[in-house]
Amino acid sequence: MANTKYVFVTGGVSSSLGKGIIAASLAKLLQARGYRVTIQKLDPYINVDPGTLNPYEHGECYVTDDGAETDLDLGHYERFLNTPTSQANNVTTGRIYQSVIQKERRGEFLGKTVQVVPHITNEIKERIQILGKSGNYDIVITEIGGTVGDIESLPYIEAVRQLKWELGDANALVIHLTLIPYLSAAGELKTKPTQHSVKTLMESGIKADILVCRTEHELSDDLRRKLALFCNVRQEAVIESIDASTIYDVPNLMLEEGLDKVVLKQLLLQDDDEPNLEKWNDFLQRHKNPKCQVTIGLIGKYVELQDSYKSILESFIHAGAENEVKVNVVSIHSEYITKDTIENKIAHLDGILVAPGFGERGTEGKIKAVQYARENKLPFFGICLGMQMAVIEYSRNVLGIKEASSVEVDKNTPHPVIDIMEEQKSITDMGGTMRLGSWDCELMENSKVLEAYGKSMIAERHRHRYEYNNNYKEQLEKAGLRTTGINPKTGLVEIVEIPDHPWFVGVQYHPEYKSTVANPHPLFIAFIRAAVEYSKKDKSAKVSQGL
């Protein structure tokens, strides 16, 4: 294709309607038709990136191969498309203004007064088109964060208006995702909020080409005609997005509604070939028809908000489908794990995952959870801080170094088995300064991780400041905590495991970032497989004991 086509996804009436899922589902359908597709997210907050945000504020921070700290929607994009994203796929207002101000300081605007229009909007348009101009994609889908009418989103809406005018109707279109609420007292769906939302969009100079209507009930033909008439769209472009049992159903629902065909028709692209969703539907078949189930404890300190661990939860779904197992996840707040409560909270589980995190809060509970898993041969998976807690627990309770800790938890610990990286000690800025992005790791022979990956050299994504302290490596290995993954460039420890434990693995990196529908992460697959084996043995033991 000579020209890249652009699709913009805006939202109205309410937040959290699922713009990211609709964008990813459309992209999946277009990709399944043979088009090269990518998705980007424009976030209206003034933070440069979500790297310094508390997970309670914005959910998890998703990290790309090139080390960008991005919005969690990029995780959906990768999980659906099985295609890596990059810094170019996530743009924030903070980054836009930072760039414009830096240009002003360098004198690039020739003394002109710097304004939202044209300088901010030009910067936005430039960022939107970076991926399109690369020559790697036929279609770029751009999700505009926030809700139409928000003051923060106005520069993005204006930039979209300008781009749509510059590119022409055959090269750019706008999908407006909106809500059709159901009033139980009246017993009917109401279109008025959508009408007002579309009107607000039109006041900014943008006509919605397609309406995607989130709804709890099916849209009748009469209601679709009404929406088409009052919102100035074709009736075939009124797309129903009904509540689904899983987000992975949405591509098929959008296929039934013909969303991809409507998009291709307006963009003057071929729609002769039906999407090839064979592998996708095979995954759905296995996901919805498990042969058994396991219960996994997710030990963390942000468990009140599920989006804090979004990639981990989705990785469990992928690995569960691969093993034909339903994975029931029980969220356990690490602050409330004590010597007196641990048996009640963990004994009934088939495995535990000790989650990533930052800071001192809840770490002692994580350490107690690790100890229980180690002593009771319960499958254990530690990620980032979870791996570090495993090292501390082993140092304290096996090596006998009772004051072992992390410098992050106790700056004055006499035994920093987890220490801050040397290059991090002089850093004062918090944002974007951790060890980030993809780093190589060499796996050791006769290890569970080598068995899981099936190859000795891997690359995984990182996001941390503190590392395993190699000064304690010899002691820990002699005591039985084996190092099975090493960064070949730095010599830093990436993976630890206990050989005589059914499955006890801690990793410094974030494997959940690379798990997709097409390629579930091998460590999650192996962990769930171990949980299934533990569950079978546990049930057999109870039967033999007459319980």
| Active site residue ranges | 384, 510, 512
Q: What share of the chain is helix, strand, coil (3-state, %, to 5)?
A: 45, 20, 35
What burial class does residue 502 get, using C-beta atoms within 10 Å of its C-beta: 0-12 exposed, 13-18 middle, 19+ buried? middle
Place of tokens 């974007």: 432
What's the burial of 386, exposed, middle or buried (CB within 10 Å: 0-12/13-18/19+)? buried
CB 169 within 8 A of CB 210: no
**Shortest CA distance to 24 belongs to which of 516, 510, 512, 460?**
516
Q: Distance between CA atoms of 382 and 216, rounded to whole angstroms?
A: 38
Backbone angles phi, psi at 270, to 5 degrees: -65, 140
Residue pair 532/350 in contact (Cβ under 8 Å)? The answer is yes
Q: Count the Cβ atoms, other than its own, within 10 Å of residue 18.
A: 20
Instruction: Assign residue 463 a region (left: φ > 0; alpha: ψ between -120 and 50; beta: otherwise).
Output: beta
What is the CB neighbour count within 10 angstroms for residue 400?
9
Q: How many helices (H) and strands (E) does the chain have?
A: 18, 23
Phi, psi of 128 (to 5 degrees): -60, -35
CA atoms within 13 A on the CB side of 96: 28
d(CA 438, CA 61): 15
What interhelical angle do 19-32 and 259-266 show, nearest 10? Answer: 70
Which DSSP symbol is given to 118?
I
Cβ-Cβ contacts under 8 Å for 130 (sequence gap 6 or more):
88
